[in-house]
């Protein structure tokens, strides 16, 4: 039996988990969860959030950070933590998954709204409801109207990573957890099939391509 990854294609955290599974050579299938009808996800995981990963042995883990750590326990090679860098990777991945996520999430709102609208008015309505319960009434339309400002925030958030990648293939030299976190968040700017990482961020665009090519073994990097 293959592992099963329950996901939304728009989720950067699901993209992060997919790439970790690829890196570690885990055989898995993707289950694209219907945004409105989530019964299969609930039956598998007991909750409604993605990512959720059901392993071949039947264990189900939710949350991308917990999934990453469990996969590291079960498949220690290739490792997410190059020797001596575990703490830095954990701290940097947390920063990326929270601070960087917020900037890229806001810039991606127009594409996300269009994606859920294509799937039906009920999908878009529920997606908007969830966002506006958290961020306040009118949040989605405000983010669409503030697109220029949001893209300025994206450039500011990405600038340190663009600089770090000027003389190395991965953030800390050898590939590790922080690279998978950054790749996942950059997928906010790529899930439509049109890569929207700012053109001037040449190092990040090259980094994204390297990460995207990972299939099932480090030799593929």
Q: Is the pLDDT of residue 140 over 90?
A: yes
Query: Are 114 and 39 part of one and the same domain?
Result: no
What's the pLDDT at 85?
97
Q: What is the CATH number of the domain that holds 68?
A: 3.40.30.10
Do residues 47 and 155 share a domain? no
- pLDDT of 76 over the 70 cut: yes
Model-level pTM?
0.96
> Residue 219 pLDDT > 60, yes or no?
no
Region 49-70 average pLDDT: 97
Q: Check whether residue 134 and residue 26 sit in a common domain.
A: no
Kindly report the number of other CB atoms within 10 A of residue 111's CB atom.
16
- Residue 217 pLDDT more than 70? no
Domains in the chain, number: 2
Q: Give residue 90's domain range.
A: 86-214
Instruction: Judge contact between 26 and 70, C-beta under 8 A.
Output: no
In a domain, 221, yes or no: no
The enclosing domain of 93 has a CATH number of 1.20.1050.10
Residues 59 and 127 placed together within one structural domain of the fold:
no
Mean pLDDT of all residues in the chain?
96
Share above pLDDT 70 across residues of the chain, in percent, rounded to a whole number: 97
Tell whether 219 is covered by a domain. Answer: no
- pLDDT confidence of residue 117: 97
> Residues 181, 79, 86, 161: is their CA dihedral positive or negative?
negative
Domain end call among 15, 50, 74: 74
Indicate whether 121 and 149 sit together in one domain. yes
How much is the pLDDT for 216?
Answer: 64
Q: Which two tokens stand for residue 19?
A: 């790439």
100-115 pLDDT tens trace: 999 999 999 999 999 9
Residue 29 in contact with residue 20, Cβ under 8 Å?
no
Instruction: Show the CA angle centred on residue 209, arms to residues 90 and 25, nearest 5°.
Output: 60
Clarify whether residues 102 and 185 are in a common domain. Answer: yes
**Domain-located, residue 28:** yes
Query: 178-188 burial, b if ≥16 CB within 10 A, otherwise e?
Result: bbbbbbbbbbb
Residues 14 and 94 placed together within one structural domain of the fold: no
- Please tell me whether residues 185 and 91 are part of one structural domain: yes
* Boundary (domain end) residue, out of 49, 74, 99: 74
100 and 60 within one domain: no
Is residue 220 very low, low, confident or very high in pLDDT (cuts 50, 70, 90)? very low
Domain identity same for 8 and 96: no
If asked whether residues 20 and 104 sit together in one domain, one would say no
Q: Which of 74, 99, 123 is the last residue in one of the domains? A: 74
Report the distance separating Cα 30 and Cα 10, nearest Å: 13
Domain membership flag for residue 81: no
Specify the pairing of strand 28-32 against strand 52-54.
unpaired
Instruction: Quote the pLDDT of residue 44.
Output: 95
Mean pLDDT value across residues 177-185: 98
Model confidence at 221: pLDDT above 60: no
CB-based contact 81:176 (threshold 8 Å): yes
Same domain? 120 vs 209: yes
């Amino acid at each position: 039996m293959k592992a099963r990854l329950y996901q939304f294609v728009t989720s950067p955290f699901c993209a992060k988990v997919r790439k970790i599974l690829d890196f570690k050579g885990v055989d898995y299938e993707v289950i694209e969860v219907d945004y409105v009808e989530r019964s299969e996800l609930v039956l598998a995981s007991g909750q409604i959030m993605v990512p959720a990963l059901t392993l071949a042995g039947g264990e189900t883990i939710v949350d991308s950070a917990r999934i990453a750590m469990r996969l590291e326990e079960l498949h220690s090679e290739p490792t997410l933590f190059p020797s001596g860098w575990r703490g830095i990777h954990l701290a940097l991945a947390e920063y990326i998954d929270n601070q960087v996520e917020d900037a890229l999430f806001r810039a991606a709102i127009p594409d996300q709204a269009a994606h859920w609208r294509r799937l039906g008015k009920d999908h878009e309505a529920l997606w908007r409801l969830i966002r506006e319960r958290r961020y306040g009434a009118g949040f989605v339309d405000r983010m669409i109207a503030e697109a220029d400002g949001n893209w300025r925030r994206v450039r500011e958030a990405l600038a340190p990573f663009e600089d770090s990648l000027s003389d190395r293939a991965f953030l800390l030299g050898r590939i590790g957890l922080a690279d998978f976190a950054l790749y996942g968040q950059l997928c906010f700017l790529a899930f439509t099939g049109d890569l929207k990482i700012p053109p001037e961020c040449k190092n990040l665009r090259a980094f994204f391509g390297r990460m995207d090519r990972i299939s099932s073994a480090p030799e593929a990097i």
